[in-house]
Structures are given as structure tokens and as C-alpha cells.
Amino acid sequence: MCIVMLWLVLCSVYLVIVPVVTANGRLPNNTLPLHYDLHLEATGLGLHDYTYRGNVSIRIAIVSDTNEVVLHNVGNTLKSICLRRCRDGEEISHQLLESEPASELLRIRTDRILRRADDQVITLTIVFHNTLGKDRMGFYRTQYRGAKRIPMAVATTHFQPSYARLAFPCFDEPGFKTTFQITIVANGSHLVASNAPIATVTWLQDGHKAVRFERTPPMQTYLVTFLIANFTSVHTASPSGVEIGILAPPKDKKSLQFSLQAATTLLSSLEEYTGQSLGLQKLDHVAIPQFGNAMENWGLVAYDEQFLVLSAKAHRLQRAQAVLTIGHETAHQLFGNLVGPAWWSYLWLSEGFATYFELLLGADAYPDLLPLEESFAVRHMHPALMADAYEQHPLTVEPLSANTPEIETLFDTITYSKAGCILRMINCSIGEAAFQAGVQNYLEQHRNGIVTPEDLYASFFVQQRKDTPTVEQMFRSWVDKPGYPVVTVERLNGSFVRFRQQRYHNQEVTTQDITSRWFIPITYYTNSSLGQYEYQPAFWMKETDQELVIQLEMNTRDVLVVNPRQIGFYRVEYDERGWNSIVDNLTTLPSIMQAKLIDDAFVLARAGLVGYELCLEMLQELATSPDPVPWLIAMAEENIGYLQRVLQSAEFDRFLTGFVGEMFDLAGNVGRTLLQSQALDVAYDWWSRLAASFIESKRESSIRPRACLPTPVQEVVQALVSPDDHVRERLFARLKCLPKQSNEPSVLLLALNRIRAANLLTPGKLFAVLESLIKSDPGRFLPPTVQFLSSIPPEEAGPVADRFQRLLNLIVHEVTDRRQAAQVRKLMVKNSSILPANFLPHASTVMTSTISWHMKQVPKLREFVHDSHMASIYEREGHQ
């Protein structure tokens, strides 16, 4: 029976399971896990006993002759190890090799060679024990407040990307997809759940029970999960027969109904679009206390409570976030779980599709809550373009080592939002029908397997014109290299236009990238084009085209907007005539076009490609007809936030006060979309920032600035280490609304030093938090961040040098005066041993250029603000 099962499994998975990418630290390819039997006992959870015992039996195929079995193990105390040949039960003698202290590998050396032809399949059984950790890694514990606020313990998991090895010994790489049979022994009163439905429950002595789950489909170790808790649940059945459940700490079950309905609707939409079934009998969504965001565990998806527990009076912003998050994790059940990337180099195949479908499914089911086009622009296109100007990794990252901190850096805006934008660009370029057919073919051909990007490209069969790139060329042009182009548009005589492309650089650099070019889908709007080229390309710029002259459908008086619907992942720069026409017609254009134009103008101005006077003129036009979409883009920290910091102009601040006030008038009712709710939230933030005393004296309103009380150090610590992005954002808002002369920077420094001293965050995660802090308000948080980093020795930052370099790169581009520049240079000199040789001269060039620009241009811009009477716009319109 064992031999028959071997060949059945090998024939079905061998060709796709063996990893095709080699990298430092990877497991060797001479053994292959086929199936896990995992047994865990955690019976002391309610008695403050957080230890657990386990044994794992792994059936392993011998792919090539070897005398070693190598897998992962971190923190598990091994009691015994047994190796047996599957076909006859012969025990194989072995020894455990010593590993380096930092190694995460478990090396078992056999006393004889394991032969592929003779041994075929062996069984490795390991008995071990461990303790539930407090960090959100591996098999860990958390808690919620029960009746009378009594702490109630919860045992749960978080294994992505490489933390299953902390819970049990395993082959912890995404290239290995195997089945799992899981048994959990727990207190009889606890709810016990895992990936698959319950097969049997056996009652044991002392009120314990053994819950045995059905065998899972083939899946990676990072998707394995289990839960032990006193939770309540609600259930329903989807139209396709999948049992949908919402599990949460004891609540009024009415607060779980919205997420239950959303989960059911979104799954049905996904199955209908893809033509694929889930592959599971049930799909539970569980609310984990202090979880942070969400994790797509197959069949038992984990969320922070805010995404699943919603009262009947929940804010529309919270409902929208719930729909987006549930949609994202539901999409992962097919994209990532059913069909998974062969290595973390291809993480975008999973996260990109989940990002794309979160909005596609959400907008289809809740169109009044989530307008598709506008939501994509604000939620993904804007942040992805901003991130890709700084971050230097392509979507496909090869080679990529097995170092977990390095892998974790890929869970970023590029991998999520840029990938989602590229998929949307491909969809619009080849058409919805061809895109859907390709996606369905991709999932069908690779169901229960692992994939590389080439497998995705080969799934599309599209008949293209001779002057159009193939689908593979489209993908590769944007996936295999970092960055994106600026398309320069120059209007010639009549309807002829010259197009040029070059890579966008966010600041002056020592070496311009003049070689990178892309296949660029050119869409456009004119008064004469009747909308026919707004979504599908009128033509393509090829990678060989640095310059191209094309005749468009327009006359000399038409306004011309290129990439009007934000389909293409690029920015557009116009000549003076083009920009003047756009400013004159800005208020007549749809809000999605206004948002794209205002974003391009601000970003190009910061790069020195256009003047900020253009941005100020566009702001004055937007002031006459405010809309949440362009308003949100304009008020971004990188756009108006940057300009407001460098101008330090009371007149400009008075204009902004009126500009912010427009959002209160526009979004004054409760029946708001996600974008209107976001605009109101951002408006409150700006309202608090803009000199409370000035607002009180100059603008009568029932809305008052938030009270900004001093924040205790421990609260700052707790918020900074929280896995929940929203908790940190609320902290940033509290810190930002305080007067700059307060003692908050010192409180922030105290908190950061406590975090570092107590090792509450790894250096890589701490640097990621500092990135978020600076991005939220560079003017306020840059100085304390630089001061804090100056206390960290190079050897501490060295293991995560890439993340440290990315943080420094962000800091360099936010320096605005010589004193800051001197402090940053000192910081870089101190860490020169872990930075590239050219980093310091490049950074110095950028800072010198920025400071020079400030000295020359800021006085001129202040004069422009004064002469244009921007500060009096709202007074002239009758605002009091």
C-alpha cells in the first residue's frame, strides 16, 4: 500500500514540487515530503500552562541517493527521532548532526546511503515539546477579556513566511506542497479548529478531547493552522456548498452577520469569475485578538477582530475595510493556496492577484461602498508609484536567499499594490474576456501545484496585432525590473504628438538610468476621441522606442490627457502648452483624471521636472469644485504635505484651512463611500495639524481640533510594537496634532529605546516601523528618528542592511536643511561598513540638490502664493 501511494503521489506532484530556484540557505532537493501526520497536545491552556507536546510523522520520498535528511526546526526540544523504510518498516540507523547556533536546519545523517531505487519512501517520526510563545510567530498565545474582564487565553498560529518551523519540525519552504492529517488534544470545553473539517472527536480522561481533522489538500507549511479557544461562531452555506463560518471571542452574534454575508458573497463571486471550486468543504474566518492584519491560512483564515466583528452602527470606512480584507484573503484561497508560488521570489503571483481581486470582488458586490476605478487609484496606484520611486526591487526577485528577514522585506507596497496595478493594466490591454480566460486556464492547469511567472504568462492565448507585444512581453517588461517610466508628451503641429520615455527618478541621482525602457500602453483622452482610447491602448511604445511621433484623434483646441483612467503604471509630463490646456480645463474633467493630473504634477515638481507654480494653479482650480478623489491625492503627505512643510507660509496654510473645510461640507452625511469616509478622516488629521489657535480664530465651525493630550511612554511603546497598522496610525495622528514645542519627540525617543532594549521588535521590523513613522510626517518625525538611529551600532543593523539602507534612502530624500544633512552624513559615515561604497556620495548629492532647491525656489513660491491671493479664495467665495 505504501509503495502504491508513493507512485501515485510522485506521478501527480513530483514534476511541480521540486523547487526550480536555488538560493543560499535552501533545503537540498534529494528528499521530498509527501504527507504529514501531526499530533499536538495543549491541554493546559485554561490553567496558565502554555507548554505543548507533539509528534510529527513525515512520509518522505527519496528523490536522489543521499545519506542526509535535512529539514527545519527552531525552538522545538526534540525527545526522539526515528527513521523507517515505508515498504517493510525497517528501522534506519542515524545520527543527529550538530548545527551552528543560528542555524534553522535539522540535519539527520543516516549510517547508510538512502537509495532512490531501493528505499523509495521513508517515514521520519519526531517526538518533541515546546511552549506557546508570546510573539505573533509560530504556535503562540494571545488573549481577550471575557466576562468580568477576566483574561481568556487563545492558542493560535502565524506561519508566514517561515515560522511553521517554530511550531513543529518540517520542510518549511513554499516549494513543498503536501497533505496534512492533524490531531489536536485540548481541554474539552475549548473550540478546536484547523484547516480541514473535523473528522472525529474522542473524549479522553480529565475532561480532555482529541480532535482529529480530515486530510487537507496538498498545501505549503506556511498555510497550516490550528486554533484552541473559547470562541463563538456563526455559519451558513455558500451556493456552491462550502460551509462558511465566522469564529470570534464571545460576542452578540449579530455583530458577525455582516462579515458572514460578505464572506459568502465574495467567495461566490470569486468562484464564478475563475470557474474554480475552493477545494475545501469549509472556509472559516476567525477573529484573533491583537492579530494585526490578516493571514490566508487555507480553510481557517485569521483576521484582526476589527475586520470581522462589526456592530450594526459600524462606520462605512470600517465596513469597506472589512470587505476589502475579506476579499483579499478569500482570493488567496485560490491565488496562493490552490496555486502557490514555487519560492518567495514570486510572492507577487499570490499577493498581486489577491490585491487585484479584493477590489474587483468588493466593487462588484458593494458598488456604492467601493467605486472600482477611484478606489484602485487611491488605494493602490498612488502608493505603488510613490514606493517604486524609492524601493529598488523588481516584482520577481532572483536570486533570493532563504534568510527570513530578507524574505519579509518583500511583503511591501511593490509586491502588493504594484503587482495588482500591473495585472489591471494587462487586463485593460488585452480585454476582460481574454484576461478572464487566461486566469481560468492558469488555475485549472496548475491546480494544487506550484508555479513560476512563466506558468502565468503561458496561460494566456491572445491574438495580438503585429505592432502589439505578446502577453509575456507585457508582463516581463514590468515584472523583471524595478521602477517605471515618465512619458513626456509634446504637442506638435495639428494632431501630431511626440512621445518620449525614460525611467522616473524621484531626485537628482549620480547616475541616471538611461537604458531601462518598457512596453507602454498609451491610452488618452481628447475632446474629439469620444472616449474610445481611455481604457484600451491606442498604441504601444516599445522597449526599443525612446521617442515616437504619432497622430492622435484631436484638434488644436482639444485638451489632451494621456493615461487618463490610470490604467498604465507610469507618469506623464506635458509641455507648457499641454499643462496650460489642462489647468484651463481641469474642472471639466472626471475626478479620476483630475487625481492623476494633480499627482503627476506634484511628483514631477518635487523631481524638478516642472515648477510648483503649476501645482498651486491646479489647487486653485480644484478649490472651485472639490471632489474626494483628487482631494485625497492632493492632500497626501508626499504632495501638499511636503509643500506645506517647505513653504512654512501662513498664507498657504490659510488656503489649506479652507481646502480642508470643503471636505467637511462635502462629506457631511453618513451615506458615504469609502473614499468620502477616507477624505473626512484625512481632513480631521489636517484640521488638527493646521495651527489650532488660527483655526479657532479665523474659521467658525462646529468642528474643533482634536484634543491632543500627552501620550504616556508605555502607550507609545504598545502602539509601535502592535502588529495592527491602524493602531500605529492612530498613534501617529495623536503625536502629529501636538504642538512641535511639546515634549513628544523625547517621549518617542524613550519609547524607541525601550523597544530596542527589551527586543520587543527585531531590527528589521523596527526599521519598518520607523519608515511608516517618517512617511506619516517627515517634518516632525525625521529628527527623532535620526537621533535614535545614531545610537544603534553597525553590527546591530548589519544583518538587515537592506532594510536599513532603504530607511536611510527615505531619510535622505526628506532632508531640507544643512543641519539635518550634517546629522545624516554623520549617521552614514558611522554605518559605512554596511552600506554600498557609493551610498554616501550619492546621498550627499541628493541632499545638496534638495537644499539648493529650497534656497532658490521657496522664496519664489511664497511670492507666488502671496501674489495669487490663494489665502483669500474662500473668503471671496463667502466662506467665513
Q: What is the mean pLDDT of residues 561-565?
A: 97
Domain 335-480 falls in which CATH fold? Neutral Protease; domain 2 (1.10.390)
Q: What percent of the chain stands above pLDDT 70? A: 92
- Pick 31-230's CATH classification: 3.40.50.1860, 3.40.50.11750, 2.60.40.1730, 3.40.50.300: 2.60.40.1730
How confident is the model over 78-114, as pLDDT tens digits? Answer: 999 999 999 999 999 999 998 777 789 999 999 999 9
How confident is the model over 722-745, as pLDDT tens digits? Answer: 887 778 888 887 787 666 655 555
State the Rg of the chain over Cα: 28
Q: Rounded to whole angstroms, how far apart are CA atoms 559 and 573? A: 14
Cβ partners under 8 Å of residue 3, min gap 6: 86, 87, 120, 121
Q: What is the DSSP letter of 170?
A: B
Break the chain into its structural domains and give their ranges: 31-230, 335-480, 713-856
Max mean pLDDT among 574-583, 833-842, 860-869 falls in 574-583
Place 702 in a pLDDT band, splitting at 50, 70 and 90. Answer: very low
Asked if residue 351 belongs to a known ligand binding site, the reply is: yes
The pLDDT of residue 14 is above 50: no
How confident is the model over 29-42, as pLDDT tens digits? Answer: 899 999 999 999 99
Asked if residue 332 belongs to a known ligand binding site, the reply is: yes
The pLDDT of residue 8 is above 60: no
Question: SS3 for 758?
Answer: coil
pLDDT number for residue 739: 63
Supply φ then ψ for residue 291, to 5 degrees.
-80, -30
Q: Rounded to whole angstroms, how far apart are CA atoms 747 and 716? A: 8
How confident is the model over 529-538, as pLDDT tens digits? Answer: 988 999 999 9
Closest Cα to residue 796, out of 771, 821, 768, 759? 759
CB 38 within 8 A of CB 181: yes
CB 623 within 8 A of CB 658: yes
pTM score > 0.85 for this model? yes
Q: Rounded to whole angstroms, how far apart are CA atoms 393 and 384? A: 13
Place 263 in a pLDDT band, splitting at 50, 70 and 90. Answer: very high
Residues paired with residue 561 on neighbouring β-strands, in sequence order: 525
Q: What is the DSSP letter of 306?
A: G
The pLDDT of residue 334 is above 90: yes
Rounded alpha-carbon distances, angstroms, from residue 155 to 41, 144, 179, 231: 12, 11, 23, 11
Domain 713-856 falls in which CATH fold? 1.25.40
CB 63 within 8 A of CB 10: no
Catalytic positions are: 329
* Weakest mean pLDDT among 505-509, 656-660, 744-748: 505-509
Asked if residue 328 belongs to a known ligand binding site, the reply is: yes
